[in-house]
Amino acid sequence: VGEREVARNKSNLVANANNEYESFEYDLNGNMTYDGKYSYEYDWKDRLVRVYEGSFQKASYLYDVFDRRVSKRFYFADPDEDPVDYNYVYDGNNLVQEYRVDSVYSTCQEYVYGEGLDDLVMVKVNGQAYYYLKDRQNSVKQLVDASGQVFESYEYDPYGQTKVVKEQDKVFENPYQYTGRRFDAETGLYYYRLRMYHPELGRFLQLDPAG
């Protein structure tokens, strides 16, 4: 993922694609803590752990000892609505099961991979298999069933903002989109393991841990 070229002034204001200035804030480790809309909190390993919109906590995340994100909790602005939990099961670095649990019911999505890391091939939901068709960037272009019927089609701008161009009989939320990474619809961020990517800004929230 290439980061967007931006115009910066001495006040840490950044001009977006519309030449509108946005103010960003960072901590001493170089992590973005405010993007003009959301505030971000990190743990001691610079992993994103909480997202706020004003004083309202929008999402929280937990990780295991291998730095894999094992759960996500999404909160509603209405205090009478219970949060939604997403719990993840891994085989190595590949996520193979995803459980969504709310106050009413729970669902499970199972993922099947090819031989390589992130080589996502299929998702199974309620006994139904859907297959991923991808481009050279590993971005998901279509979701199809065994007969080849297209259920969803996607287009992307150069920085990963997604447009669903076809949606038919939607039966589940597909989180895998740009470059084959997981998209968190609640915050508009992509999960790239040790970093989160902001497609609207065309940049990562954290510095590259590889240096």
Dihedral of alpha carbons 24, 12, 162, 114, sign: negative
Q: How many CB atoms lie within 10 A of CB 174?
A: 19
Note the pLDDT tens digit of each residue in 92-123: 999 999 999 987 778 999 999 999 889 999 99
Give the mean model confidence (pLDDT) for residues 142-166.
Answer: 92
User: Which of left, alpha, beta for 19 (phi over 0: left; psi -120 to 50: alpha)?
Assistant: left
Nearest of 181, 173, 76, 57 to residue 118 by alpha carbon:
181
Note the pLDDT tens digit of each residue in 58-102: 999 999 999 999 999 999 999 889 999 999 999 999 999 999 998
Total structural domains in the chain? 1
211 falls within a domain? no
209 falls within a domain? no
Q: What was the pLDDT predicted at 23?
A: 82
12 falls within a domain? yes
Note the pLDDT tens digit of each residue in 160-190: 999 888 766 677 889 999 999 999 999 999 9
Domain span holding position 137: 7-204
Helix (H/G/I), strand (E/B), else coil: 144: strand
1 falls within a domain? no
Residues 20, 136: Cα–Cα separation, whole Å: 32
